[in-house]
Each structure stands twice: as C-alpha cells, then as structure tokens.
Amino acid sequence: MTVIQEQQVVSRRGGWGDGLRRMWRGEGAYLAMLLPLLIFVAAIAIYPLLFSFRISLFKYRLTDPNQMQTFVGLDNYWRAFQDPIVLTSLRVTLIYVAGTVLVEMVLGLALALLLASEGRMIRGTRALLLLPMALPPLVVGLVWKSLYNADFGVIPYYLKQLGVDVGRGPLAELGWAMPAVILIDVWQWTPLLMIIFLAGLKSLPIEPYEAAFADGATRWQRFIHITLPLLKPTLLVALLLRTMQSFKVFDVIYATTGGGPGSATTVLNFHIYTVGMTFFDMGYAAALANVLLVIIAILSALYIVILERQQL
Amino acid sequence: MSRNLWKFFHVLIVGVILLGVVGCTAPVAPAAPAPEAAAPAAAAGLEACKGQSLVLASMTDQYVAAFRALVPKFEEASGATITLDELGYVDLYQKLIADFVGHTGNYDLMTVDIVWSGEFGQNQYTRTLDDFMARDEAELQLDDILPVAWTLGEWQGAHAAYPLAGYANVLNYRKDVLEQAGIEPPATQEELLAAAQALTNPDAGMYGIALLGAKGPAVAQDYMAWVQQHGGRILDDEGKPALNTPENVEILKFFGELFKYAPPGSTDYWWDQRETAFRNGNVAMMEGWSIARAGYENPEISTVVGKVDIAVAPVKAGMEPKYGFGGWGIGINADSTPEEQECAWQFIKWLTSPDIQKEWLRNDGAPIRRSTMTDPEIVAEYPWMPVLLESFEKGDGDYRPRIPQYSIIQDALGTHVNAFLVGEETAEEALAAAQKQVEDNWQ
C-alpha cells in the first residue's frame, strides 16, 4: 500500500480518534500493553549491557582525577586472556560450579522423592527445608564463617571431639576451603531444586506406573525406567538454572573467605570485583564481566537447545 | 501482528544503541576540576552552623561511640544537624570513592584512614584545610598536636584531613601468664618469638601470640607492621614498590614463624577475631592498635580484666626504636557547599579542641594532643597513657605507604602473604608474585 492510499484509508476511517480506537482494539493493543515492559527491558537490560561493552574498549580508571577515557580497542580482552589470575579463577569457578550443581542435583532429587507423599509431618518438613533460601547469601556467609571458625566455631569443636585434626579451620586450609564453601551453597540452594523436582514429580502421569506395577517392576526399576526419563525436562531446567547461578557466585565467597586462602576460592566474579572495586579499573573489569557473560550465554544457549530437542 | 511488534522492538533497540553511541562519542576530555572552594571569609564561630545539616561517614572503630556521644552536644551548641552514618572499613572506602568520583556530595564529613591520605589529597577528593587552619590558627593550638599525628591526612605539604584519632602499634600482654612462666615482657623481636614459643601450650588452650592472617587488608597490614619493626621497607628510595627484597623475604619468614605459635585459625583472622582471641584469654600476647586497650578492662566484652598490660612494640635487636603509627583523620568533602564546609570545619575545630578531647577520649576516642595525654586526670584513668605517648613520639606514620597507590600494594600483599602462610607459595614466590601484581597495576 502506498503512502497516499494509506492516508486515504485513515481519513476514510474518520481521523485520529477513530484510528486510535481501532488500534486499541486491534494489534496496537498488544503494543500498548507491551510498551512498559519493552521500555523496562531496554532501559534495565540492554542499555547497561551496551554501556559495559563500551567501557570495556576503554582504559578507564575511576579514581583517575581527570577521569580520562582512552580508547584501547580490544586490549582489555587480550589482557584478560593473558592474566594468570583469570585462568586460575576460571578453573576455581568451574570446580565450584561442578561441585555445587552435582551435589545439589542428587540431594535435591533424593529429598524430593523422600518428601513427595502428602502428610502433615512431611508438609511441615518441606516448609522448614525452604528456610535457608529465604536468607540473604551474605548473612548465610557470615553465619557459616563463625560456625567454621577454627578456634571458636561449633563445627571444628565437634570435629575435634571426634578426633579430627581441623588444622587452621575449614575456611583457611587449602584443601578444605573449596568443599567448605560448596557445602554452604548446598545447604542454601538444595531446597530450591527439591521444590522444582517436587513440582516435576507431581505432574508425572500415573498410567506408566500402573502398567509397571502390573508387570511386576521393582521400585528401583520404576525409578530408573519411568521417573528419570519422564523427569528429564525438569532435571535439565534445574541444571541450567543452578549452573548459571553458580557461575555468578560472589556474595558467599566475599563473606567467608575473601577468595582465600591464597587463591583457593577466588572465583571469576570475585576477581572482577577486586579489579573493579579495589583497583577501580573499570575498563578491564567490564571486559572480564563480559567474558563471564559470554560463558554464561553459551551455556544457556546450549542447555536451551538440548531442552528443545528433549521436548520434540 | 508479530512483524509490527518486531519492528517496534527493533526501533527501541536502535534507539538504545544510539544512546550508547552518544555516550561513546561524548567528549572524553578531562572533567573539570572540582570547583575551588571559596576562600573562607573572616573567622566564623559556631553560629556559621545554624540551620546547616551535615552527614558524617564514620568507620565503625571504637571511636564511633565517642561520635555518638559528642555529636548531640555539638548539635546543641551550634544549631546544626549532623547525621552519623556508621560504616565498616571496606564499605566506607567504597561509598566515599563513589561519592567523590560521582561528585554527589552526599557526605560532608568523613573519617579518613591514614593510608588514604595520599589518594584523597592527590585527587582533591577532600577539601584542603590549610586556608581554614591559617585563618583560625590562634584558636587551634597546633603545637599541642603531636608531630606524628599530622601524618593523619597530610599529603605533599597540604592537609587533606585533620588529625582525629591517633593509634600506636603496641604490645598487649597477659601479666599473669608471663609472670607465671617467669618471662619478662619482650623488648626485641627475637625475644618476642622466643616468648611466643615458650608460652604456647595448645593442650591448655593457650597460644603465644595472636596475629592477623586473613586474606585481604588484615594480613597485609599486619605483615607491613612486622616489616617496620624489622627495619624493612615497602618502597625504595625513589618511592617505587620494593616488596621482594631479600630483607623482606627474611621478615616474611619470621612472620610465618610467629604463626606457629598463634591460634590455629589465625590465618583466617580479621581484627575482630584477633581481639576476640585475646579477650577470651586464649593468647598471651598481641600486637595491636592502642585504641582497643580500654576495652580489655570492660567486663562486658573481656574475660581478662585487670590481667593486661601494654609495652612499646618490640623492634629488631639493635634497631633504632620506631613504632608503627596509624589511625584516622577527619576530612571535608570538596563537593560540599561552602556553607557546609564552613560548618564542617567548625565541627572539626570544636571536636579537636583540648576540652572536648578529654570527653572524646573518655568515650572510647583516641588522642592526638600532648596536653590530653599528659593530663593528670586522664593519666590516672588510663595508666597506659605514658607508653602511648612514647610510641607516638617515636611514631612512624609512613610504614604503610600513604600514597595514592596504597590499595594496590595492600591487595597484592593481602593475597600473597596469605598464600605463603597457608603453604600455597614460598616466601620468595609470594613476594615476587606480589611485586609483579603491583607493577602490573601501578599507575
């Protein structure tokens, strides 16, 4: 339709007021209703993303009195790939992600199966198990830090009673610090997976179980051959969610070990924080943050593809 | 329909990108320097504060209790309103920097750690106080403030902050425990190590010394204190970082040796946990800031009431005695209005006047004036004042370099000294890695 024709159509319909009314009734309604959300997404998600990409191309130190921003192209990214701390922290992050996600998936599923039936006691237990999730991670970190304290903490106290040598305490020993922070994450986030798996279990059809029962399948066989395959989409969603969250971990590390001892728990996000908030090297920090973003984006894309295949 | 939506969404994205591009092409010329504060007019008194409202950002050190007690008195005397914002060490620094670089002027007054003097002075984050000081010199009794206290805020001859609370690094020890073991309070570092070893008895739950080992500022600052006490240096003659000198490697090994006689959790200790260990009676000795001294006599927080004494911090045998000095200055935001700055200065003047200083000290503040530290009433109440005065007179306020790049040095030492203590790196590797990290980030 040419412009002139279009104008004629509008005028025939009786001017702007009528046009708007039609718009409202028709397709425009979608737009009008989506507008606030679209503006929100653009302002809150897209603009900061572009801004962070922009400053990652500059040498920009916040504490520089002249606030000079010098364009350096991809130098900050190049620097990231040569920075030994980045490589170490990436390795540490992967260990953290693998540790937390694996343990939480297994424990979450076990808890969900255990608490799937109904009953007052079970409902009460489920509610209690959700409590850790309601606490801010920073508070959780501080509480666990005092629980772990080698000299005044409860956990080393009982370990010592059992004859275990706690050395410098769980958070200060090179070999123990990572399992110790993983345990905190497991304590806090396993209930989330339990809830997701519970929802998945509740939505499973009953017929396959009846058939299996008639065929004389054992509990274990029913779990392996019916429950697990049917639960696959739920498992994948949970895996995706927790992996992404785990990759971004910061607060628990900040509150407990500060990335120590040495660099045993310096995850990538904590290193980014140090670069950004201790050195105020904003350009480099933005570049590192974007690297983390790309890693997480690739992971999400991968999982989404897998998820879609599963559903076909 | 969906095509329309897509079109709209694309328009939106293009708009946002444009916004971003506009940001990109914005002139990146140096920002205009902070407006020069108007030269103060004729001497003004407390009446300059009438109707003013200020915000004071304070570190949550012991002296915050003195602020809580004295701020209302100042408000009453002057008619100003002062909101006290109490913040932990890391939070305070980050909030201040955000306020300064954003020129938001939220905080008018702020406590300034001695090690921030260079950064705040160089970048003119805080207003230079020299013109105020020259104008009101007759009232200030500047000679009464101990020379070392001026390192709390002085940078290249100007005053980025005014002395507020002077701390001396002193040796706290348990009189009863040392007496029982027949050990004299150590006067040298060698004696300190020997005493720590002799007094350690894990089966009885007693350790020789409490130290700061936690990754971050804690271990970095404690290590620098030991470097000072052994006559080592963090910067070379040209002011460049020199962390991995053979002397410093030896000092780090000595520091590691001391950890053998510290509570096992020490490599995870921040200041508060070290204090807890001493107050709980788990350790015989502890070097630390003098401001904590009064707390050991408070039965609500201490189990060692009446059992503690202090001595000057031991230095290496044969070394000219010099004692670690630290503490806090108080600064005025360069972005506050001239009226707010005038009132803030009146507050500083009032707070640091000899009369109020006694109140300040009695409410857990820390001294800066010779007259306060030699006041007979004060000495009677705080018998350890003479030791403090001696430490102040031979105080070294620069053992932690008060330069703009301080936080880079602290972060590198904070990571690698901790790595050495937990066995991840050798002393040589740790200091070489710290030196490299500082050089990589040096501006």
Q: What is the pLDDT of residue B91?
A: 87
> Which are the contacts of B31, defined by CB distance < 8 A and separation ≥ 6?
A66, A67
- The verdict on A94 and A156 lying in the same domain is yes
Mean pLDDT score of chain A, rounded to an integer?
Answer: 87
Q: Are residues A17 and A79 in the same domain?
A: no
> Euclidean distance between the first and final Cα of chain A, in Å?
40
Nearest CA-CA partner of B256 in A63, A168, A64, A127: A168
Residue B291: phi and psi, rounded to 5, are -65, -20
Q: Work out the angle between the directed axes of helices B427-441 and B246-259 (0-180°, nearest 10).
A: 120
Residue A226 domain flag? yes
**Could you read off the pLDDT of A216-264 as tens digits, one per residue?**
999 999 999 999 999 988 898 898 889 989 999 999 999 999 898 988 9
Q: Which residues of A touch B33 (CB under 8 A)?
A: 65
Segments of chain B scoring below 50 in pLDDT: 1, 20-38
State yes or no: ipTM above 0.85. Answer: no
List Cα–Cα distances, B335 to B29, B49, B126, B128, in angstroms: 20, 18, 8, 12
CB within 8 Å: A64 and B443: yes
Contact state of A260 with B423 under an 8 Å Cβ cutoff: no
Flag the least confident range among A10-19, A44-53, A139-148, B38-47: A10-19
**In-domain check, residue A59:** no
Domain positions in chain B are: 49-167+326-396, 169-324+402-441
Tell whether the model's pLDDT for residue A303 goes beyond 80. Answer: no
CATH of the domain at A81: 1.10.3720.10
pLDDT on residue B355: 92
Is residue A259, in this structure, part of any structural domain at all? yes
pLDDT value of position B83: 97
Q: Is B282 on the interface with A (CB under 8 A)?
A: yes
Asked whether residue A132 falls in the same domain as residue A273, the answer is: yes
Same structural domain for residues A181 and A263?
yes
Q: Which residues of A65-95 are buried (b: 16+ CB within 10 A; e: fewer)?
A: beeebeebeebbbebbeebebbebbbebbeb
The token pair that represents B39 in the structure block: 């030269």
Which of A52, A71, A148, A151 is the best mutation test for B, with the most CBs of B within 10 A?
Answer: A151
- Tokens representing A86 are 């980045």
Question: What pLDDT digit, counting tens, does each position of A73-117 carry?
Answer: 899 999 999 888 899 999 999 999 999 999 999 999 999 999 988
Query: What per-residue confidence (pLDDT) applies to B335?
Result: 96
Q: Is residue B223 within 8 Å of B213, Cβ to Cβ?
A: no
Residue of A nearest to B413 (CA): A262
Together in a domain, A104 and A31? no
Whether B102 and B325 have beta carbons less than 8 Å apart is answered as no
Domain count, chain A: 2
**Looking at the domain B169-324+402-441, which fold is it?**
D-Maltodextrin-Binding Protein; domain 2 (3.40.190)
Mean pLDDT of A165-185: 92
Confidence check: pLDDT of A3 > 50: no
CB within 8 Å: A262 and B418: yes
pLDDT at A68: 80
The residue with tokens 């997701």 is A196
pLDDT on residue B365: 95
| CA nearest to B329, candidates B39, B117, B108 | B117
Instruction: Compute the average pLDDT of residues A187-201.
Output: 94
CA dihedral A43, A64, B127, B102 (to 10 degrees): 0
**Nearest-CA distance from B102 to chain A in Å?**
9
Residue A241 lies in a domain: yes
**Could you check whether the bond before residue A261 is cis, i.e. omega within 30 degrees of 0?**
yes
Domain B49-167+326-396 CATH assignment equals 3.30.465.10:
no
CA separation for the pair B222, B226 (Å, rounded): 7
pLDDT at B20: 47
Whether A117 and A22 share a structural domain: no
A43-79: pLDDT as tens digits: 888 899 999 999 999 998 887 767 788 899 899 999 9
Give the domain range for residue A23: 3-45
How far does the CA of residue A62 sit from the closest CA of chain B (Å)?
7
Q: How far is CA B201 from CA B181, B212, B269, in A?
A: 12, 20, 20
- pLDDT at position B30, please? 40
For residue A33, pLDDT beyond 80 = yes
Beta bridge partners of B112: B329
Q: Are residues A25 and A133 in the same domain?
A: no
Same domain, yes or no: A35 and A106: no
Of A31, A64, A261, nearest to B422 by CB-CB distance is: A261
Token digits for B250?
Answer: 């030896």
User: Are A42 and B13 contacting, i.e. CB atoms less than 8 angstroms apart?
Assistant: yes
Q: Which residue has the higher pLDDT, A44 or A19?
A: A44
Q: What angle do CA B90, B353, B382 make, to 5 degrees?
A: 75
pLDDT of A8 above 70: no
pLDDT band at A308 (very low <50, low <70, confident <90, very high): confident
